[in-house]
Chains A and B, each alone.
Chain A
Amino acid sequence: MNGAKSFRAISNPPLAIASVALLVLIVTGFVMSERFGTFRNFTNLLEQAAPLGVLALGQMLVVLAGGIDLSIGAIVTACAVAVAALCDLYPELAPLILVGTMFLGAALGAINGVIINRTGVHPLIVTLGTSSAISGVVLLYTMRPVGGVPIWLEDAAYGATLGLPNVAIIMILAFALVGLALRKTATGHALYAVGGNASAATAVGLSVSRLTLLAYSASGFFAALAGIYFASRTGTGDPRVGDAMTLASITPVVVGGTVLGGGVGTAMGTFVGVALVSVLGNVLNYMNVSTFAQWVVQGIVILAAVSIYVDRSRKL
């Protein structure tokens, strides 16, 4: 039993390396600042990590299927603006608007999937194109933050249940569900197969286009969740809120050991990746490292992660 477990850890070196790095960071945090170890900082961290976590989860599904989603930021923005604008007009319909926005996100993601399936154009180009088009439509609608959300929605976004921030609970649930689905369901296994080798997957009767569609729709859905959260949190729909989210969503995925190109990666790995990125930012803040220097660190972390992982997989 013990042997089997340690074997699994060795067979997944990226997760092991990322976990060790996370531990080192946490220890550094404890050493650098008294406030790091407080429960308050812990819940703050969770709260800040949650939207990034949900977005990275969606990005991971797309990457697992062999693609990449550069439209995540644009969908976040579109959904944030849609929620705020509509809730402002019809406050009494807010619950319906929330559900509708989740559908909107999933539908925008599905458009990516359909275009990729129909045209065979590289996902990078397709999602770059839809990203530009979606941002354009949003900016045609408004150039500045618009709308508002009902106060109960704002309360929910700031609120906590049993001491844990609501948004963190949603993130943890999402990771648990996706993790389970990937490990236990036929669709989950098929997603790995499609990302690992599309033509082999087709040969054994898996529908590559159906799984591609599913992955991009899921990514769009998670982007909608983040968009709703940002709108609720700030009480407005900012047409620039998602700008930095696309590239940010890729870092934790890669740091968590998911391979660009598909077929390799786990929800657990992405979770550790999100934790690593968030704790790193938190610790650097306590060390009074400027935002600018943090960008440098961020870039180096990506490079370190991808080049170490690749080297390991070659040796094994």
Chain B
Amino acid sequence: MSHTSSAASPRRLLSPATGLPIALLVLLAIAGFIQPSFLSARNLQDILTQAAPLCIVVIGQTFVILVRGLDLSVASVMATVAVIATAFNTTDNAVLPQIIALSLLLALVVGTINGYLVVKRNVSPFLATLAMMTVLQGVRFYYTQGAPGGSLPSALRFLGTGQVAGVPVNLLVVLGVLAIAAILLSRTTLGRKIYIVGGNPRSAELVGINAGRVTIFCYVTSAVLAALSGLVLVGFVGSVDNWVGRGYELDSIVAAVIGGIALTGGRGSPINSVLGAIILMLTFNFVVIVGLPVQAQFVIKGLVIIAAAALFRRMPA
């Protein structure tokens, strides 16, 4: 699906690393000017809390896009994990180990199959993860017969809505995941390998990197983070339906693109992707605050993603 021939004209002053915080500040300033209550600590915290599940997913999506892939199965993993979390239909925390083990198992299987198909069978990532999405959706509906329900352990409610010293737990989760991902990608050998494989898989093989294994690792990471995000989101919402996380597969790609990631691989950072997710959520919130109908979010999202992608294409790495 490569359609791009990269011809980056040098605009040294602007890059995702400087541009994103500026965009974020400008957005906040405009929002605050129109509606001062937008900048209240309460509203900002609400926005971040709502953004938390997307932030976790976009970090996983970043790993996959860095190795020239895409993961369309993340939302289906989230919803399936949500069904697992309520399958025992109890608020008792005794079932927590089973829920975590099953969710992790699901993520490992899904991520490994996605990666295997892409690496070993040479299936396009788009199709491999699209098919995975469809299969998971079918299995989930078959199990729930279309009407899932049930209570979830109270510890998951705490994960989604609880606070520690005034800081929402789900934000702590985001920070933890982000820190690990950022360190892994920028400070470890594995991280360097991921960027090299994404930049040029063939030369990665030449310098002795097992590109296939690195790629599969990225798909497994994405699936595991999608599962974690599913637990956080179902904990946040407090109830389950068949579509928990619906739209996150595309929104996570949109967020990563707003964060300046290159779909051609090898360029991007989890911090920028998370900033992209926050900017996306801010614009959604902004639409509501200025009194536009909710549907305007779709229009704005569409325009923002094309504008961001076009802008970053002209920027140096």
Contact = CB atoms under 8 A, between A and B. Distances in A.
A309 to B, nearest CB: 9
B310 A303 contact: no
Contact of B138 (A132, A299, A306): A299
Contacts of B133: 299
A302 B4 contact: no
A123 interface: yes
B1 A68 contact: yes
Interface in B287-306: 293, 295-306
B43 interface: no
B127 A260 contact: yes
B128 interface: yes
Interface in B77-126: 117, 121-124, 126
B106 to A, nearest CB: 15
Given A120-B313, A131-B302, A136 B134 contact: no
Contacts of B117: 303, 307
B127 A254 contact: yes
Contact of B132 (A124, A130, A143, A299): A299
B42 interface: no
Interface residues of A, number: 51
A296 B139 contact: yes
Contact of A302 (B134, B145, B264, B304): B134
Nearest to A295: B138
Interface residues of B, number: 50
Contact of B141 (A135, A139, A295, A299): A295
Nearest to A140: B295
Main secondary structure of the interface of A (DSSP, over half): helix
B305 A129 contact: yes
B281 interface: no
Nearest to B72: A247
B135 A132 contact: no
Interface stretch (A27-35, A179-187, A286-294): A286-294
A291 B301 CA distance: 32
Interface stretch (B24-32, B226-234, B249-257, B271-279): B249-257
Nearest to B137: A295
A121 interface: yes
A285 interface: no
Nearest to B303: A133
Contact of B126 (A119, A124, A199, A300): A124
Interface in B132-189: 132-135, 137-139, 141-142, 145-146
B138 A307 contact: no
A271 to B, nearest CB: 20
A307 B121 contact: yes
B126 A68 contact: yes
B130 A132 contact: no
A292 B135 contact: no
A291 B279 CA distance: 38
B130 A247 contact: yes
Contact of B4 (A122, A292, A298, A300): A122
A115 interface: yes
A66 B123 contact: no
B44 interface: no
B171 to A, nearest CB: 27
A133 B122 contact: no
Contacts of B134: 295-296, 298-299, 302
B302 A125 contact: no
B95 to A, nearest CB: 25
A279 interface: no
Given A116-B3, A133-B299, A125 B127 contact: no
Given A124-B126, A125-B257, A140-B299, A66 B138 contact: no
Of the candidates B3, B7, B313, the one having the most CB atoms from chain A within 10 angstroms of its own CB is B3
Contacts of A132: 298-299, 301-302, 305
Contacts of A296: 134-135, 138-139, 142
A310 B124 CA distance: 10
B18 interface: no
Interface in A222-269: 247, 250, 254, 260-261
A67 interface: yes
A183 B7 CA distance: 34
Given A66-B1, A250-B127, A292-B145, 9 more contacts: A115-B306, A122-B264, A123-B1, A124-B1, A129-B309, A292-B141, A299-B135, A306-B127, A311-B121
Interface of B: 1-5, 7, 70, 117, 121-124, 126-128, 130-135, 137-139, 141-142, 145-146, 250, 253-254, 257, 263-264, 293, 295-306, 309-310, 313
Interface of A: 66-68, 115-116, 119-126, 128-137, 139-140, 143, 198-199, 247, 250, 254, 260-261, 290-300, 302-303, 306-307, 310-311, 314
11 contacts: A120-B7, A122-B3, A128-B254, A128-B305, A140-B299, A247-B130, A250-B130, A293-B138, A296-B135, A299-B138, A310-B121
The 4 A-B pairs at the shortest CB distance, nearest first, are namely: A136-B298, A133-B302, A295-B138, A132-B302
